[in-house]
Structures are given as structure tokens and as C-alpha cells.
Chain A
Amino acid sequence: MKALVRATIGILLVSGVLMYIAHAMDTTSGKSGKNILTVYNWGEYIDPALLKKFEKETGIHVVYETFDSNEAMMTKIEQGGTNYDIAVPSEYTIEQMKERHLLKKIDHSKVPNLKNIEPDFLNLDFDKDNQYSIPYFWGTVGIVYNTKMIKNHNFESWDELWDPSLKGKVILVDSAREVMGVGLNSMGKSLNSTDSHELQAATNKLIKMAPNVKAVIGDEVTQLMINGDAEVALTWSGQAADMMYENEDLTYSVPKEGSNLWFDNMVIPKTSKNIDGAHKFINFMLDPKVAAQNADYVGYSTPNRAALKLLDPEVVNDERYYPPKEVRNKLHVYKNLGKQKIGEYNEQFLKFKMSIR
């Protein structure tokens, strides 16, 4: 009994001391709510030095919080109880958030730096006139492969993924739209197809690829490709850039049949309590110098035209990171197909995954 009481008191004491230390160190406590800006972003998706710079310039204190999936982030914002001022969802999520009235309109007069953004990336279908969102990073979906291990393919066509020589070598990303998109694009269909027959046909075609599939995973693919543990992977250009930076044998290709063009945009969730600060933050991130520094740190492609001039020309002229307009014309942004159709994509994708054994 004595031991139990002693242990209890010990735990309470230790916790108390630790909480006091944390409280003393936590610079956010004690500041007024008005001067705090809560940014909700993907992990490691901003140069932390820029947050410090923003704090210095504006006197606004930034609380930086992170999420690991669009859907989880949306659930948090929808359920309330939080007050995020800035979030960075992907384009298809922005459409859903708009539908559910989770976003506040952005006042363009407070974001003069919007002029720096490449006009091609503005006024897109998922957010006409950019009423709710401002581009942060963008990219494509394609195939990254190890040129030392794969010598007879350059993946100009999706169909090369079905080649029997790739048995047990292909890694797919664990995401329904991307994988179904491979099936659809390889048949010359739109990756926004809503035709159930086309979807079924795409699944049937994908199931034929099953012997080639090594695994269906998420972000871990980066490490595997860098390591030389995997030969070929379907992935996003941003991650491909990370991999190529670490391993020179890797290269990236967007097949000619077409692929997906994606965006991560900054939005102001309806839960925001510091709308003025949020606008300041967006404008700050669109500053050419800031955007260039951020792109350099994160390694993704920036939509900021003015920032491109400040970046390493070798990167900017690399068509793998910044594909020319002809290639971009073949890329399509995901449309919000509605819950029913998205459900169908997911069911088909699950069927395909269950066929891998």
C-alpha cells in the first residue's frame, strides 16, 4: 500500500514540475488571443525561419500545428472546438470544404501580392476567381524510377507499368483517385470519369497489373526509393523531388497520356478568429523572396512567378519540376465528383487492393 501511495505522489509531483516548466517555456501562453495566428499545415511543409520572420514583421505570434491528411484536417475543422486561422488543403478538399461552408472568403484587396502568382494557376474550376483559396504549392502525378535498376523503360506511357519484366517491382500510392487515374488514363479515359462501366474496366485492367505490384503504401515510399529498396513508384512530383534530391539514380516521368495536376492552397477556415492576421500571412507567403525561400526549403514547385526568378535556374528549367505549358495542357485537376462517385472509386480501389496477393 505504501508503495502505491508513494508512486502516486511521485507521479503527481513529477507531472506538476514538468507542467510548470512547459508553461514557462510555452511562449504562446499569456498573450492575447488577438495577436495569435494559428496555422494548420502538413508537417515539414514550411521553412520555420519564415514563421519567425513573419512574427518579427507583424508582431503576430504564430502557433504552427500539423495534420497528416486532408480528410482528418477537414473533420477537425468541421467538428469545431478549434480556431485555425490558416489551413493548407489540397484542391479537391477545398471543393468539399466550400460545399460544407467551412471556408471564409478571401479579401483580394488585402492580398496585393496575388499578382505574383502565375495566372495559369488562378481561377481554376475548384475555386472560381480564387474566392476562397490562394495557391501555395503545386505539382503532378507521375512515375519515379531508378535508372540503375530499370534500364529498358522510360515510362512515357502508363502501359509500361503492365510490362511483365516489372514483376513485383511497382509501388503504388495508397490513394483511390491516383491509382484509378492510372487505369483510366492508360485507357485514354478522363481521370474524372463518372461512367461506372469505365471505372469497372479500369479496375479490371488494374487487376492485371497486380502481379507487378510490390506494395501499396503512402509517404514511406520516399525512404524506400532513396534507399534503392524499390524500383518504380507512382507518386506526386513533390515527393519525387525529395527523392531525386537524395538519390541521383532516380528520375521522374509524367506519361504522355496525361495525368493529374494538383494544388495545395491556403484557405481561411470559418473557425478563424484572426481574419486580418490570416490575410497578412497569405500576403506574406506570396512575397517573391519568401516564396522562393520556402520553395527552396520544402522542395516543391511554387506557383509564384516572381519567385521563380530568385530560385536556382537549374531547378526552374528542369521540366520534371516545372513542366512546360504543352505538358501542363494534358494534365487535369481532379473534379469533385460527389460522394456517391467518390465512394465508387474507393470501392473499386479496395477491390483492386484485395486482388494483390
Chain B
Amino acid sequence: MRKKGNLLSLIPYYIWILLFVIAPILLVAYYSLLDLHGHFTIENYKNFFTSVYLKMTLSSFWYAFLITLFSLLVSYPAAYFITKLKHKQLWLILIIIPSWINLLLKTYAFIGIFGNKGPINAFVQAIGLPKQQILFTDIAFVFVAVYIFIPFMILPIFNALDKLNPALIDASRDLGASKFTTLRRVVIPLTMNGIKSGIQAVFIPSLSLFMITRLIAGNRVITLGTAIEEQFLVTQNWGMGSTIAVFLIIFMLIIMLFTGEKRKGAVRNGKTK
């Protein structure tokens, strides 16, 4: 009885999955089997296994990895310190607010900031160094991507840290554990769910980043998302675009397997008996 009640709350969610997830997937799968003239073919799949697309896949994963790593490195301490602040909820919202300003506009601002006459180069010159080419470099690309994803990483980690019982940390310290050991053995394991959820919210969309690959990286970085975008909008080859999307979905499922729950029943202790 109890169980049934809980599952009832899934009805709108299942309707959503059916209409907005499964229906589009079927559509994408169908299109991936069509060539330019609308005939059935598996040519698109063969095409994916050529050097161009394999190289692209590898580089997408590499950059998504870098972006996730740096987002985590920046966000974890930031989230941790925010939990210690007096008005922590307010500070948290202040982390999110910048993401409400249009991304394209902020990207243009970054182009200006990184530019030859921008504030960074003004600073570089002020300390006596020659002007640097910042735009269209890997560093600029990863920086802006991390910038975009920071709120998505901080939020779940903050929520996990915030509920952490301070008594546990005190206990660990009282038992003679160093600050570092406490962090490694107590704090991080207990906030693992938040970290995982942050990684999922950053790594997965990183694979399909576009726009800033062109604006900030000048197409020196081409991700799978950029390729799909081009196949759909420029080339008008929906078949190939859909094929890349199918692979993207497969990659996502694999990632889910790795970041998914490992311990049996970790979730189940929710409320079913």
C-alpha cells in the first residue's frame, strides 16, 4: 500500500519521460538510419568510425574531463567555505545569480576581457610582460567552461556539506585525526553523493558543449556537441547528426554506470520496507 502510494507520484514523471525523452530518442534513432536523401542506410554509423569522428570523440572526453576536474577543484573548497559563512544561503544564491545573465552576452564579455586591449592584457603589460594571446587557447576555453559549470558543481556539494553533522568532524579530530585525514576519511566520503551529482551535472553536458567552442576556442576544439550542431543547422545532414547523438547517449549511459550507486541498498533505505 505504502509503496503504491509513492509510485503514484511517478505518473507525471513517467508521462514526461514518455513524451519528451522516449519519443525524441525514437525520432533520433530513426533519423540516424537515414541518408541525405531519406533512404535507409547504416552508412552514418560506419562514418562515425572514421578517424575524424574518433579523434573528435577522444578530444571531447579529454576536455570534458579537464572541465569537470577543474570545476570540482574550484567548487569543493568554495562550497566548503560557504557552509561556514554566516549568511550561507544568501552567499549560495549569489553564486547562482551570474548564471541568469544570458550566456552569449557573457561570452562576448569574455572575448573583450581576454582581448588585446582587455583588462587582463592591460595587467600583463603593467607588470612588464609582453601581450599574450589568450583568446582561442585551450586555457581560455577550459576557463570559460569551468566558469559556466561552477554553480552546477557547487550546489549539490554545498547541500551535501551543509547537512554534514559537525559532531562527526569534532569526533574525528578528537580521536587525533589530522585535518587532512578528517577531510579524506570523513568529510569527502560523506559528501560523495553530492560530488557524484555535481560530476554528472558537469561532465555529461561538457561533452555536448557548443558555441563557446567556436567563440572562445575558435573551433580549435571541436566537441561532439559542436559537430551535431553543425550537422543539424549548417550541413542539414540530420542523419549524421542523429548518429553522433546516439553515440553521445551511449557514452552517457556508460558514464552513469560508473558514477551510479555502488553499494547495494544505498538508495533503498529511502522508505520502502
Question: Which residue numbers of A lie inside 8 Å of B, CB to CB?
Answer: 69, 71-72, 168, 171, 174-176, 214-218, 220, 223-224, 227-229, 339-340, 342-343, 346-347, 350-351, 353-354, 356-357
Contact = CB atoms under 8 A, between A and B. Distances in A.
8 contacts: A71-B234, A214-B136, A215-B136, A217-B215, A217-B218, A218-B214, A220-B214, A339-B236
A224 B36 contact: no
A240 B217 CA distance: 22
Contact of B235 (A214, A217, A227, A343): A343
Contacts of A339: 36-37, 236
Contacts of A353: 219, 222
Contact of B115 (A176, A217, A229, A343): A229
B54 to A, nearest CB: 11
A354 B235 contact: no
B220 A342 contact: no
Interface string B206-229: 000000001101111010000100
Given A175-B234, A227-B115, A357 B219 contact: no
Contact of B233 (A72, A168, A176): A72
Contacts, number: 79
A118 to B, nearest CB: 30
B220 A215 contact: yes
Contacts of A223: 108, 111-112
Nearest to B56: A354
- Measured as residues with beta carbon below 8 angstroms from the partner, the interface class of chain B is 20 to 34
Most buried by B among A176, A220, A228: A220
A350 B227 contact: yes
Contact of B220 (A72, A346, A357): A357
Interface in B109-155: 111-112, 115-117, 133, 135-136
B55 A354 contact: yes
Contacts of A356: 219-220
Interface of B: 36-37, 52, 55-56, 108, 111-112, 115-117, 133, 135-136, 214-215, 217-220, 222, 227, 230, 233-237
Contacts of A343: 36, 235, 237
Contacts of B222: 350, 353-354
Contacts of A347: 52
B237 A346 contact: yes
| List of 6 A-B pairs having minimum Cβ-Cβ separation, nearest first | A215-B218, A216-B219, A346-B235, A339-B36, A215-B136, A229-B115
A229 B116 contact: yes
A229 B227 contact: no
Contacts of A216: 214, 218-219
Residue in B117, B234, B237 with the greatest tally of chain A CB atoms within 10 Å: B234
Contacts of B236: 71, 339, 342
A351 B234 CA distance: 15
A168 B132 CA distance: 13
Nearest to B115: A229
